[in-house]
Amino acid sequence: MTNHSRSARADERTEDLARAVTPLSAAAMKSEEQIYRSGAYSMLARLLRSPPDRQVMQQVAGFAKVESKQDEMTLAMSMLGLAASTSSPETVDDEFHALFIGIGRGELVPYGSWYLTGYLMERPLGRLRDDLAALGFQRQDGVKEPEDHVAALCEVMAVLIDEGSPAQMQSHFFERHLADWMEHFFTDLSESGSAVFYKAVGRFGAAFAGLEKRYLRMPV
């Protein structure tokens, strides 16, 4: 589901996310904060663009070691790790297909245009393509998925963070293309009747989307 030539490797950022939850010094907080954000986006992209293999599941299972505090973010992360540690790649593969592929279509439709208009390939996708072109992203040959798939948008956010794009640029992209539907999608995923492992993915994604919305709306 890698739509753009500037997309980076999600598995490495997943490992970065695991490292970023360790205690930080004040001097390191800013850079570690960005590693955390990039790792979260990349991990979500990896879990949503295709069924995760055993190596990815083992990486995510490591989140079970995160100290579960009272906030929803750390609780959701530890629950995701626990779900990964008790799920097999085979059953997760079945879940993925039921949720996102199905016969004709899956239970959920993970595209921005669908969530914003009720239809695929609508105006939100055209606006997204214009913004991606302005940012220098190019669609890769052979990719058939529309660019407004949630995994592709998470990958774009991860690249913007990794490249040190200005906060205003990150906020602008998030507000135009994710803020109005990302949290809703992940909430739907967390409540899906076809999900077991992906319920935990949805809970983590919803918590992270809400946190990002608040973070990117903070005064610079």
Residue-wise pLDDT for 182-211, tens only, equals: 999 999 999 998 899 999 999 999 999 999
How large is the average pLDDT for residues 172-181?
97
pLDDT at 27 over 90: no
Percent of the chain with pLDDT over 90: 74
Instruction: Kindly list the domain boundaries of the chain, sorted by start residue.
Output: 10-216
For residue 149, give the amino acid letter.
H
pTM of the model: 0.86
pLDDT given at position 111: 97
The answer to whether 197 and 84 have CB atoms below 8 angstroms apart is: yes
pLDDT given at position 12: 52
pLDDT given at position 1: 41
pLDDT given at position 19: 43
Task: Please provide the size of the chain in residues.
Answer: 220
C-alpha radius of gyration, the chain, whole number: 16
State the residue for tokens 């990958």: 155
How far, in Å, CA of 19 to CA of 57, rounded? 16
How far, in Å, CA of 138 to CA of 7, rounded? 10
Which helix (DSSP H) or strand (DSSP E) does residue 40 occupy?
helix 29-49
Question: What single-letter DSSP state applies at residue 63?
Answer: G
4 falls in which pLDDT band (50, 70, 90)?
low
How far, in Å, CA of 31 to CA of 44, rounded? 20
Which residue(s) pair with 111 in the sheet? Answer: 149
pLDDT given at position 34: 93
pLDDT at 40 over 80: yes
Class of domain 10-216: mainly alpha
Report the SS3 class of residue 56: helix
Which residue(s) pair with 4 in the sheet? Answer: 139
Averaged pLDDT of the chain: 87
Percent of the chain with pLDDT over 70: 85
pLDDT at 140 over 80: no
Which residue(s) pair with 139 in the sheet? Answer: 4
Which residue(s) pair with 103 in the sheet? Answer: 105
List the single range of 2-11, 29-38, 198-207 with lowest mean pLDDT: 2-11
Phi-psi region of 4 (alpha: psi -120 to 50; beta: other; left: phi over 0): beta
